[in-house]
Amino acid sequence: MSADAPYYHYRPKPEGPKTILFLGFLNPDHESSFRVKGFRALGYEVHHIDPWENSCMDFKNVSEVYDGEDIVFIHHCNSKLFVADIPVPVIYYHAELLWRPCVNECDILLMMSPLMEPALVYWFPEIFKRNPAKYSLHHYGVDLDRFTHPRKKYLKCTFMGPIEWKEKCFIEQDLYKTRKRVVEACSEWLNIRDFGDYEEYIKDLQHSQSTLIVHGKNCYLSQRIFEAAAASCCPIIYVDDEIGAKIYEDIGLIHGLNCLFVYIIYPNGLEFLSKFNLKIIGENARKWVETRDNIHQCKKVIKYVQKYQKYMEKYKKQCNLRATQLIERSLRIGI
């Protein structure tokens, strides 16, 4: 079985577009790489370029790296701005509230959650004037195969990663302030593990019955929720407002079934864990994340492209060349 196709013993022949230009980080543990694996497992030929590689640092127009692919997928790339000046559908996926969007002239816009929309309207109002297709995927990539090896779960509850704010980005200060406050209040019940080597991090999750996940203000989802679930480790998610609670409900996380929510940190911290069967919750979390794998999400993306192309083809038959160009440049049919 190919390393790029972990979910299938064979590669099916894709219908519609056959090749994809994918702009996103090459880090094998990053969400963009997991999504590339999903496209390849479906049988698509994917040309994966990291815009932050030295050889690509100066390009601004997608046409500079475009080589005749059928569609282009631009994964959120930390504010590096691209101009989508090519004749094929351009899909842009924006994943974080903390960073501004990094593309214009896109045809299909995918967002992590409805919370993205106000930020995108603020930074790029012209995109919304053209009425792009808007979808909420609520999904982070995770390589399910890397988390399946059974491990003895001798750690009751862990916390992974840094607590102190060490970044230069001032926007993240609130995240670390919240994290430090919650972790310190729960420290008596936690095995705090430094987030270093990714393979060690996976092993720690596999050895954990549960893990505490703390997001800051306006940062409600992270890859850690999906990774914990994939490792059959009960995600304990700190929820600090109603928006976060609604997002978790929307993606199918249910307190006591496949995760645990912590709303207020009382003096007794995580003492309530003794009331729950963490093994069963962890097993349910694994089942939950299996229904949200990369294959399923990548199929959705291809369906969006096919619908968009059908709409454009319909309008091309009704209009002359000039009218068609106006439609493609200024209307962007919603699908």
What is the domain count for the chain?
2
Dump the DSSP string for 119-185: HHHHH-HHHHHT--EEEE-------GGGG-S-----EEEEEES--S---S-GGGHHHHHHHHHHHHH
pLDDT of residue 16: 61
Same domain for 58 and 100, yes or no, is yes
Structural domain range at position 56:
19-142+293-330
Tally Cβ neighbours within 10 Å of residue 187.
Answer: 14
pLDDT digits (tens, 9 = 90+) for 117-147: 777 778 777 666 665 566 665 566 677 888 8
Q: Which two tokens stand for residue 65?
A: 């790296």
pLDDT digits (tens, 9 = 90+) for 276-292: 999 999 999 999 988 87
Same domain for 38 and 169, yes or no, is no
Region 41-70 average pLDDT: 87
27 found inside a domain: yes
Same domain for 156 and 129, yes or no, is no
d(CA 109, CA 13): 26
Highest mean pLDDT among 97-101, 167-171, 178-182: 178-182
1 found inside a domain: no
7 found inside a domain: no
- 122: CATH: 3.40.50
d(CA 246, CA 250): 6
For the cut 60, the answer to whether the pLDDT of residue 13 exceeds it is: no
For the cut 80, the answer to whether the pLDDT of residue 191 exceeds it is: yes
Same domain for 260 and 297, yes or no, is no
Region 63-69 average pLDDT: 91
Region 31-47 average pLDDT: 88
Same domain for 158 and 267, yes or no, is yes
Closest CA to 128 of 97, 99, 92: 92
For the cut 50, the answer to whether the pLDDT of residue 5 exceeds it is: no
5 found inside a domain: no
Same domain for 203 and 276, yes or no, is yes
Q: Which two tokens stand for residue 194?
A: 């430094």
Same domain for 156 and 61, yes or no, is no
Same domain for 162 and 215, yes or no, is yes
181 found inside a domain: yes
Residue 256 neighbours by CB under 8 Å, 6+ apart: 276, 281
Closest CA to 334 of 138, 113, 124, 106: 106
40: left (phi over 0), alpha (psi -120 to 50) or beta: alpha
User: What is the distance in angstroms between the CA of the first residue and the CA of the last residue of the chain?
Assistant: 36
Same domain for 116 and 44, yes or no, is yes
Lowest mean pLDDT among 32-36, 40-44, 329-333: 329-333
Same domain for 283 and 178, yes or no, is yes
14 found inside a domain: no
d(CA 15, CA 197): 39
% of residues, the chain, pLDDT over 90:
24
12 found inside a domain: no
Length of the chain: 335
Encode 63-75 in three state secondary structure.
HHCCCCCCEEEEE
Dump the DSSP string for 225-282: HHHHHHTT-EEEEE--SHHHHHHHHHTT--BTTTBEEE-S--TTTTGGGGGS-HHHHH
pLDDT of residue 70: 92
For the cut 90, the answer to whether the pLDDT of residue 111 exceeds it is: no
pLDDT of residue 119: 76
Helix/strand/coil for 315: helix
* The overall pTM is greater than 0.85: no
Same domain for 94 and 191, yes or no, is no
Same domain for 107 and 94, yes or no, is yes
**Contact by Cβ (8 Å): 202, 231:** yes
pLDDT digits (tens, 9 = 90+) for 210-261: 999 998 766 787 888 999 999 999 999 999 888 888 888 888 999 999 999 9
Q: Sheet of 155-160: strands edge to edge?
A: 191-193, 155-160, 208-214, 234-238, 260-262
64 found inside a domain: yes
- 187: CATH: 3.40.50.2000
pLDDT digits (tens, 9 = 90+) for 249-280: 888 999 999 999 998 776 677 888 889 999 99
d(CA 3, CA 32): 16
pLDDT of residue 166: 61
